[in-house]
A and B are shown apart, each in its own frame.
Chain A
Amino acid sequence: MQQLTEYEFPDINGHFGKYGGKYVPETLITPLRELEEIYLSLRNDEEFTNELLKLNKEYSGRPTPLTFADSLTDYYGKGKIYLKREDLCHTGAHKINNALGQILLAKKLGKKRIIAETGAGQHGVATATVCAKFGMKCFIYMGEIDIARQSLNVFRMKLLGAEVIPVKSGSRTLKDATNEAIRDWVTNISDTHYIIGSVVGPHPYPMMVRDFQSVIGKETKQQILEAEKRHPDYIVACVGGGSNAIGIFYPFINSGVKLIGVEAAGYGLDTDKHCATLTLGREGIFQGMKTYLLQNRDGQVSEVHSISAGLDYPGVGPEHSFLKDEVKADYYSVTDDEAIKATQLLSRTEGIIPALESAHAIAYLEYLMPKTKKEDILVVNVSGRGDKDLDTIKNKLGYSLE
């Protein structure tokens, strides 16, 4: 039940096959190399890993449970559905796993000022949280549109002592917040560490964030072996940048488990209002990486849409592009409406209100469950809780909760 064949990516240059890499202005090469060196020297260092383990346990509340969803299982009457409960992490989403790892690195690097981008605000909240805990100055870039639709999280960040900087450029969402954060970093590299929020950007970020998030998959492996004495048949996770997905996939790559990533189809794949990057994008170079990208004929990055701010991104982590091309994972998409329905379903069957991002993973069960057999075992990653989305859901449902 180990990984069947070796999977050692990225290579030393940060490439996952032809994807990944370091497509950045020269100014960033030196700080990226410093980050890589310190990370590689610490990733197997006992003191460092113990410190992170302790924080994960005593501060964040790990391990998160693996919950057998008996009512949801009954509802479909097919395979057994388990939920990996990242919604129960401190701050309410998996984003804290990465933020804790990176704040420790920032401390080792002697950086005093932390910047981050955020879409749904979960990564912003996680970063503001670890900055409060570690006494660092914190600046969060957030698109104006996202500030409006995730106002509760904006308030949380401020309460935690962070400064939230509204981004007015481009589509005023996650991609533009990321551009601004990178520009800030280029300008303030000497005292600043950039805590990127997903498995995106230049090497070593996609590798490093994956490693910090793979705690999800490691726990899942142990928990499912305890509960069922075997690996699951399917693992399902939503994909924005792809960090919760790669976090739960990683320990299962090449082990025969079907890995399924679910992207946001927004208003539908036949409209231009979606962000199904792996489904409809093609190879591009964007924000420091080569990866699948939603773009027009001229290579201009598309304006994308999802009801879920955390998935509203035209790129995707380069490792997912690689896993897709190598057919080591499969990627599908569900619409805004399907995600809203799934939110209601999980709330009523299991008493768990998922984040709209996570609801995309749940929604895919409509397609997957009919194909499963009773003896099949599924794990769905509930990457976060839905409190932040209540306004959006309320508006979408027109207050008419019949």
Chain B
Amino acid sequence: MKSISKYIEEKNNIGEKVFSVFLTAGFPNKNNFTQLALKVLDAGADMLEIGFPFSDPLADGTIIQYSSQTALNNGINLKTTFSYLKEIRRETGKPIILMGYANPVLNYGVKRFADDAISYGANGVIIPDIPIEEYDNFYNNSFNGLDTILLITPTTSNDRIKIIDDKSKGFIYCVSVSGTTGVQYQDKSRSIDFIKRARNAVKKNKTLVGFGISSAEDAIQFSPHCDGVIVGSAIIKSLMNDDSNFKNTMSLVSKIKNVL
């Protein structure tokens, strides 16, 4: 299995930006989630982020709050998330990243989480409520082999970006606008300015842009200034009203990939 950074680099080398799609485990359905994930990869996603649900997702807007709550109602926990991971990994060599809040991981056991994530085939993890201040305490060197992807936002200073760049592995997640997931752009040019600043300050890692990107138009505007984009809320929103084959969602995925 290739590392995430190597995978992104190879895509970039053939002139493509990577496209990462966020799905909430077990959403919209518990029974065909694995098929959904594989369809998303077939439709053009280069990477998958699989969200494991938490009852109090404070970095998320209403759409991902809804998908998390649905997942919890569907009985999804880390164990079921790992079983999806295992099934998806069997069918793909593309990077898979787990994303979720610290408390379920703390409960599962941080070391045990890392060991299981690796053995079931994850490449990385994003935990938005573990900033660098708590990084060493939380991960405690138990995440060897699993990339810990850190976030930067428009409020992150250049000095701080350097420190985060140093610690982040896999890539750097650039949050394009201050807010929760699914936030609407008030002023897109400010977001683009931030992404340019971020890319300049990040030396070690590839930069992927997320939070707020919802369409091929958004992707076109951001992609010249980064190494890839991440779409979450727009995909989840599409899944909320899609047919049983997820036709609209798959066409959204291909549309975005085609412009990258």
Report A's interface with B, CB cutoff 8 A: 13, 21-31, 169-170, 175, 179, 182-183, 186-187, 189-190, 283-288, 293, 295, 297-301
Q: Is B91 an interface residue (CB 8 A)?
A: no
Query: Do B107 and A297 touch (CB < 8 A)?
Result: yes
Q: With a CB–CB cut-off of 8 A, which chain B residues contact A25? A: 58-59, 128-129, 131, 151, 153
A119 to B54, CA, bound (A): 22
> Closest CB of chain A to B60's CB: distance in Å?
8
- Identify the closest chain B residue to A175 (Cβ): B56
A187 to B59, CA, bound (A): 10
> Closest CB of chain B to A316's CB: distance in Å?
15
Q: Is B83 an interface residue (CB 8 A)?
A: no
- 8 A Cβ contacts from B48-103 to A: 53-56, 58-59, 61, 65, 72, 77-78, 101-103
Q: With a CB–CB cut-off of 8 A, which chain A residues contact B133? A: 13, 21-22, 29
Q: Which are the 10 A-B pairs with shortest beta-carbon distances? A: A299-B107, A299-B104, A30-B155, A187-B179, A285-B102, A298-B77, A25-B59, A300-B55, A27-B153, A299-B103
From A26, A28, A301, B55 is in contact (CB under 8 Å) with A301
- Identify the closest chain A residue to B102 (Cβ): A285
From A30, A189, A298, B78 is in contact (CB under 8 Å) with A298
**Most A CB atoms within 10 A — which of B55, B59, B78, B183?**
B55
Q: With a CB–CB cut-off of 8 A, which chain B residues contact A286? A: 56, 103
> Closest CB of chain A to B110's CB: distance in Å?
11
A189 to B178, CA, bound (A): 8
A117 to B55, CA, bound (A): 18
A182-B58, A187-B179, A189-B155 known; A29+B131 contact, CB < 8 A: yes
Q: Is B226 an interface residue (CB 8 A)?
A: no
A29-B156, A175-B56, A301-B55 known; A285+B131 contact, CB < 8 A: no
Q: With a CB–CB cut-off of 8 A, which chain B residues contact A295? A: 103, 107
> Closest CB of chain B to A290's CB: distance in Å?
8
Q: With a CB–CB cut-off of 8 A, which chain A residues contact B134? A: 21-23
- Identify the closest chain B residue to A183 (Cβ): B180
Q: A22-B131, A298-B108, A301-B103 are in contact. List 10 more A-B contacts (CB 8 A).
A: A13-B133, A23-B134, A30-B157, A182-B58, A183-B180, A189-B155, A295-B107, A297-B107, A299-B105, A300-B53
Query: Do A284 and B155 touch (CB < 8 A)?
Result: no
Q: With a CB–CB cut-off of 8 A, which chain A residues contact B18? A: none
Q: Is B130 an interface residue (CB 8 A)?
A: yes
A258 to B154, CA, bound (A): 48
A170 to B183, CA, bound (A): 20
A295 to B103, CA, bound (A): 10
> Closest CB of chain B to A367's CB: distance in Å?
32
Query: Do B106 and A300 touch (CB < 8 A)?
Result: no
Q: Is B195 an interface residue (CB 8 A)?
A: no
Q: Count how many chain B residues have C-beta atoms less than 8 Å from C-beta atoms of the other chain.
A: 41
Q: Is B219 an interface residue (CB 8 A)?
A: no
A286-B103, A299-B108, A301-B56 known; A26+B151 contact, CB < 8 A: yes
Query: Do B155 and A26 touch (CB < 8 A)?
Result: yes
**8 A-B Cβ contacts within 8 A?**
A22-B133, A26-B175, A27-B153, A29-B155, A285-B106, A287-B58, A295-B107, A299-B54
Q: Is B36 an interface residue (CB 8 A)?
A: no
Q: With a CB–CB cut-off of 8 A, which chain B residues contact A31? A: 155
Q: With a CB–CB cut-off of 8 A, which chain B residues contact A189? A: 155, 178
A169 to B180, CA, bound (A): 15
From B61, B104, B156, A26 is in contact (CB under 8 Å) with B156
- Identify the closest chain B residue to A180 (Cβ): B58
Q: With a CB–CB cut-off of 8 A, which chain A residues contact B61? A: 183
Q: Is B152 an interface residue (CB 8 A)?
A: yes
Query: Do A283 and B131 touch (CB < 8 A)?
Result: no
Query: Do B107 and A284 touch (CB < 8 A)?
Result: yes
Query: Do B153 and A26 touch (CB < 8 A)?
Result: yes
A21-B133, A30-B156, A301-B56 known; A187+B104 contact, CB < 8 A: no
> Closest CB of chain B to A213's CB: distance in Å?
24
A190 to B105, CA, bound (A): 32
> Closest CB of chain A to B172's CB: distance in Å?
11
- Identify the closest chain A residue to B105 (Cβ): A299
> Closest CB of chain A to B33's CB: distance in Å?
18
**Most B CB atoms within 10 A — which of A23, A189, A297, A301?**
A23
Query: Do A24 and B129 touch (CB < 8 A)?
Result: yes
Q: With a CB–CB cut-off of 8 A, which chain B residues contact A285? A: 101-103, 106, 129
- Identify the closest chain B residue to A25 (Cβ): B59
A13-B133, A30-B156, A300-B72 known; A287+B56 contact, CB < 8 A: yes
Q: With a CB–CB cut-off of 8 A, which chain B residues contact A179? A: 56, 58
Q: With a CB–CB cut-off of 8 A, which chain A residues contact B152? A: 26
Query: Do B104 and A300 touch (CB < 8 A)?
Result: yes
A331 to B137, CA, bound (A): 27
Q: With a CB–CB cut-off of 8 A, which chain B residues contact A169? A: 65
Q: With a CB–CB cut-off of 8 A, which chain B residues contact A182? A: 58
> Closest CB of chain A to B41's CB: distance in Å?
27
A179 to B72, CA, bound (A): 18
A300 to B78, CA, bound (A): 11
Query: Do A187 and B178 touch (CB < 8 A)?
Result: yes
As a 0/1 sequence over residues 135 to 166 of chain B, the CB contacts with chain A under 8 angstroms (1 = contact) are 00100000000000011111111001000100
A179 to B156, CA, bound (A): 22
A29-B155, A298-B77, A301-B55 known; A187+B128 contact, CB < 8 A: no
A26-B152, A298-B104, A299-B108 known; A186+B129 contact, CB < 8 A: no
A25 to B57, CA, bound (A): 11
A382 to B175, CA, bound (A): 46
Q: With a CB–CB cut-off of 8 A, which chain B residues contact A293? A: 103
Q: With a CB–CB cut-off of 8 A, which chain B residues contact A28? A: 155
Query: Do B56 and A26 touch (CB < 8 A)?
Result: no
A24 to B65, CA, bound (A): 17
> Closest CB of chain A to B146's CB: distance in Å?
19
